[in-house]
Chain A
Amino acid sequence: MMMTEENEVESTLSVCGHNIQIAEVLKDGEMLSFLIVSQKLSGTGEYHVHRNYDDFEWLQHNLFCQEDVAGIQGVIFPPLPAKAQVNTAAKVMKQLGFLSLGEWQPYCKALEVFLQQVAAHSILSKNKAVEVFLTNPDSPGKQKVKKNIFNRLSQAVDGMRKEGHKDVDDFFQTARDHNLVLTNCTKTVTEKLLEVVQTEQKIAVACGHFSAALLLCVEPGDDPNKQAFSKVCVKLSEVFESMKKSTTGVSENDVSTMGLGLDLESRYQEAIKEMLFRRTCKLVELEHARRNAEKAKPVKKAAMEELRKAAETEFEDISRVAKEEITRFEAVRVKMLQQAMVQWCEKQLLTAKECADQFTQHLEVFRGMNFK
């Protein structure tokens, strides 16, 4: 029995939305298990619950299936990252990109943002499933998740044709055109940064190898020239260890700030694309209904009129919600990206300073080496 059928439509969240945390991630065989901590709104106290990816999917499904909420299809649903295939490194990289790096920290951060955005959403936070997800000690259970009823762009018949359908509203035509460009650009930037990160990792490994190989050049014996050369090799080995450390740091910074930020932005652009497509489909449906109503024979006329009216109401609701969502989201997204870039800059600055200090120290060591 689906939990959704027992849901009340409206409820208020008893926890604070903006500081929901994923405090811990544990590997449980092939699955990841997350410890979610949220603060009670009344008084002090926290909720600690354990959830796995199936639970997140259950939550998302419940949010999608709110047919009775007017204009629900106009909502920009916070995107849920894909399920992590824990034990296959190559597959998971292809699937999750940046989220597969950094020991699942970026992945947890992405899930955290998902929950925070859901809890902060005026429509979505009212769904009881959110409360259950965050506060119920038991897992929502391994309930079979029904296939998404929404017209997913990728699954839609005539997807391409419908996507290109001319809009009746300039605001939305602009939004669609703009979204198309942004989606592609963001995807490219994210891919390119990922390639940079992968090369940085290769460099760190190469530095490690060089550092280790240098230690093999140490020559035993009392000969002062041999001792001098050995010292040079040992100290140079330390230089490359420093280089390995700093390159690793740079790469981690790229992943945890800019990479995560771009990944988030990328998935949000996709979510907007999905929403706009849903509205476009409704537009097509509406125009279809209008034509049917016009052409209908007197016998069918009333019924067709009913259908037309319903389609118009739905379309208006969706457009209203969509407009609010787009406006609201624009502010959120600019803030998110700015934050990502600022954090990236701060972290890289710190790493660069540490690196400069280390290299300066090494330089002093070498300058001070005097050999007879």
Chain B
Amino acid sequence: ILLSDGPSPAITPITPPTSVIAPLFIDTLCLDKCTTLREEVDDSFDINISVSDPEKVGDGMNAYMAYKVTTKTSMSLFKQREFSVKRRFSDFLGLHSKLASKYLHVGYIVPPAPEKSIVGMTKVKVGKEDQSSNEFVEKRRSALERYLMRTVKHHILLKDPDVLQFLESSELPRAVSTQALSSAGLLRMVNKAADAVNKMTIKMNESDAWFEEKQQHFESLDVQLRKLHISVESLVCHRKELSVNTAQFAKSAAMLGNSEDHTALSRALSQLAEVEEKMDQLHQDQANADFYLFSELLGDYVRLLAAVKGVFDHRIKTWQKWQDSQILLQKKREAEAKLQFTNKSDKLQQAKDEIKDMEGRVQQDERDFEQISRTIRKEVGRFEKERVKDFKTSIIKYLESLVLTQQQVIKSYFTFRYVTASV
């Protein structure tokens, strides 16, 4: 259940202070030709963030979870090599909100923040210390960690002062309107933008087939990922069911062992119960691996694709703005032409001035459009590269856990074989 975020903010992105953004833009313009250099810089990327030690602060409905955020790095960007701060969930949402408002509309794929959950948090607040609320906290902790790592892996976002402040500063001003851009809010905003675009009866003249192809590709990828996600969720569910059934089988085998007169047979049955209890544990571990390494990964990518879709839509809006400026310029030129045949010299001068301004705007809008197109191309390339790394990393962890599990299974059966041989 997602928190209803209230009315979405009007889609007017906050222009970041030029002192912060402009240098970066100039950066990308200058280094456009030096993309290889930039990637080499990325390869020396050395930062690891962990989110740990969830701690309940306060009581009742005002309580919240505080998480420890630890950064380990050798990069000169940071003041220290290892440092920790305490953050709460709304702080993460606040960070995302700021980043999204600064970077989304110029084409950067800003990783979405983890989902809100009223149900999950209420249980925690109310003080229920049961397995499901522990699972919820662990799920959230993991999601927050993945969110931060994805964010800092982005070479532009890493250098953002808000990100640096989030990681380093011991005190953080409370995020005020965190409703703004949680994942769900983002999706809603994206959908509204998409609707707005669709409602405009002008279709964009896509001069660049790359964008059309990419858009279609991402749409079909979205469908595939959702299917995979559902598939894995079903697998996780069955695995948990198997754990429960195995535990019950173990119990019943123990009972049979207790009722059995024949000593050796009784011992064998008790050993069977122990083996099955171990299997139960292994099934639970497996279910967790399925969940954290695949289900959450796929969920993350479904949400990431929403952000990707968002930047594509922003590009269309940027194009539209450029078109509108051109139309306006044309109108002003026509108006000036008409004024030529009148004797209102001061009005004519005003018209000429306005045209000058307008020409400037048209040029700027065209530059913006070209800029966002360039940025998106690079971002998509980065996304597709990261995607491979991400999946490969998860899969390797998963396979390692599978091999380990099987080894423990083998060990269990060896013990059992030894005991039953003496029957």
Contacts and interface: CB of A to CB of B under 8 A. Distances in A.
Interface string B243-280: 00110110111011001111011001000100000000
Interface stretch (B141-149, B187-195, B309-317, B415-423): B415-423
Interface stretch (A18-26, A60-68, A364-372): A364-372
B417 A192 contact: no
B218 to A, nearest CB: 11
Given A182-B259, A206-B238, A196 B245 contact: yes
Question: Of B251, B391, B406, which is in contact with the most chain A CB atoms at under 10 Å from its CB?
Answer: B406
Question: Of A185, A243, A334, which is in contact with the most chain B CB atoms at under 10 Å from its CB?
Answer: A185
Given A217-B224, A338-B268, A202 B423 contact: no
A33 interface: no
B353 interface: no
Interface stretch (B169-177, B201-209, B344-352, B396-404): B396-404
Interface residues of B, number: 56
B231 interface: yes
A207 B235 contact: yes
Contacts of A70: none
A216 B261 CA distance: 57
B231 A213 contact: yes
Given A210-B231, A228-B388, A366 B413 contact: no
A186 interface: yes
A192 B245 contact: yes
A192 to B, nearest CB: 4
A216 B222 CA distance: 12
A362 interface: yes
Nearest to A219: B217
Contact of A225 (B224, B234, B268, B384): B384
A363 B252 contact: no
Contacts, number: 151
A210 B398 CA distance: 15
Contacts of A143: none
Nearest to B382: A225
Given A228-B388, A338-B420, A359 B410 contact: no
A209 B234 CA distance: 10
A7 interface: no
Given A229-B388, A359-B402, A349 B413 contact: yes
A157 interface: no
B420 A178 contact: no
Contact of A189 (B227, B241, B242, B252): B252
Interface stretch (A75-83, A85-93, A315-323, A339-347): A339-347
B235 A186 contact: no
Contacts of B16: none
A218 to B, nearest CB: 10
Contact of A186 (B238, B242, B256): B256
A349 B414 contact: yes
A371 to B, nearest CB: 6
Contact of B231 (A189, A209, A235): A209
A273 to B, nearest CB: 15
A214 B228 contact: yes
Interface in A88-130: none
Contacts of A223: 384
B131 interface: no
A31 interface: no
A70 B222 CA distance: 78
Given A186-B256, A217-B228, A345-B420, A193 B388 contact: no
A192 B238 contact: no
Contacts of A188: 252, 255-256
Given A223-B384, A232-B395, 13 more contacts: A189-B249, A196-B245, A206-B234, A207-B235, A213-B228, A216-B224, A338-B265, A349-B417, A352-B406, A353-B410, A356-B406, A359-B403, A362-B399
5 contacts: A178-B259, A195-B249, A199-B238, A352-B406, A356-B410
Top 5 nearest A-B pairs by Cβ distance? A356-B406, A225-B384, A192-B249, A363-B399, A185-B256
